[in-house]
Amino acid sequence: MPSRDAPAATSQSPTRNRQHEALVARARTTRIHNTARIVGLDQLQLFISLATVNPVIGHAVQDLTLSLPLHIGYPAQAVRECLRLTPNLDTLMLVLPDFSPSTIISGTLLPRLRTFATNLPHRALPVFLALHPSVTSLALESCGGRTRCPLRDLNLSQVSDLSCPARCLEGIARGQVAMATVNLTRLASMAALAIQALSTSPLYLLCINFFSDDYDILARIVAAAPRLRKLKLVEKPRAQRRFHHARRPWNDLQEWHRLLMRLPFLEEFMLRTSASISSPRRSEQAVVTIWANGTNHGARHPNLYHISILQQGPDADAQPLSHYFRRHGTWQRVNEALVNAAHSFTM
């Protein structure tokens, strides 16, 4: 005679079977993509379920963005399982809470990985990066509060495209960096040390933060990277001393022109600032022309053809962005728009 519990077990089994059959059917009909964007724990768990049933889903992914809420706990094993199911990644962007375990990706192996970007504290990265000498493009955010970057003693000589905090760059750059993005994450950070650390690299593209009273920023760049082709300067907000709030490194237009001329290979220059470029005496276009051609127009820059300026507007959603191009020897504004403060201002 069947036990009393038998009917209950039997009634649950069809439900589980139907759920599994539905998952299998969905996994079979899911379109295969080489790019995956996973945002939130629900999407992560669904991806794991589908890729477990149909491994082709995960094996096909070459470019993965995995982003979880920064202030909510999550099962670390789910992240590890997702990466295990996507072994052919070429590009990985990983955005996780800073309280993630320091070993969250230590055991992960992605033999084809070339581009890696993450917000994880640097203490979580040494083992992973040591296992991935294939990574040539590396983008890191805040170090995580340590006085000495945990990546300092790591051999990252293969990295040619580097984005990291200024205070960590000196210990990470190994003389092969061609493209660099230097972020000032602390008021005490010094762009000067980062620029000097790049002086032995074949640098042709530099994006760097600066403070408004760093009047020698361009002179230091000229000395360290005279073969630059692309330069972007992004002003960081800082409390200004009284009576000095309007001064900027480019206030001496002729000196700014002289320094730009010492970057003879420079083709594109981008500037983001909270100040106004124009003045009662000179329009924005006149300032741009002097930067490129000098005050007497007798010393035109040999290769500079594009200057882009993003300035502080009346509010966060109305910041003027201007693009100037050199055409037949003269500088013309070919595009002007109002953008919000979150505009990427990419080169």
pLDDT digits (tens, 9 = 90+) for 138-158: 999 999 876 789 999 899 999
- Would you say residue 237 lies in a domain? yes
Per-residue exposure over 24-36, b if at least 16 CB sit within 10 Å of its own CB, e if not: eeebeebeeeeeb
Bigger pLDDT: 274 vs 261: 261
Total domains in the chain come to: 1
- Position 85 in a domain: no
pTM (predicted TM-score): 0.87
Residue 301 has pLDDT above 80, yes or no: yes
At residue 89, what are phi and psi to the nearest 5 degrees? -65, 135
In a domain, residue 267? The reply is yes
pLDDT in tens, 223-249: 999 999 999 999 988 755 544 457 899
Q: 184 pLDDT band (50/70/90 cuts)?
A: confident
Is the residue at 78 inside a domain? Answer: no
- Look at residue 19 and tell me if it is in a domain: no
Residue 198, in any domain of the structure: no
Q: Which domain covers residue 219, as residue numbers?
A: 203-347
From CA 37, how far away is CA 164, in angstroms rounded?
Answer: 23
Do residues 103 and 125 lie in contact, with contact meaning Cβ atoms separated by under 8 Å? no
Q: What angle do CA 339, 164, 35 make, to 5 degrees?
A: 70
Q: Quick one: pLDDT band at residue 85, thresholds 50, 70, 90? A: very high
Residue 303 is given by DSSP the state S
Nearest to 23 by CA among 44, 47, 42, 49: 49
Tell me, yes or no, whether 344 lies in a domain.
yes
Is residue 308 a contact partner of residue 336, using CB atoms and an 8 Å limit?
A: no
Mean pLDDT, rounded, for 196-221: 93
Ranked by mean pLDDT, which of 92-96, 278-282, 310-314 comes out on top? 92-96
Q: CB-based contacts of 343: which residues, under 8 Å, 6+ apart?
A: 310, 319, 321
Residue 29 falls within a domain, yes or no?
Answer: no
So what's the pLDDT on residue 189? 55
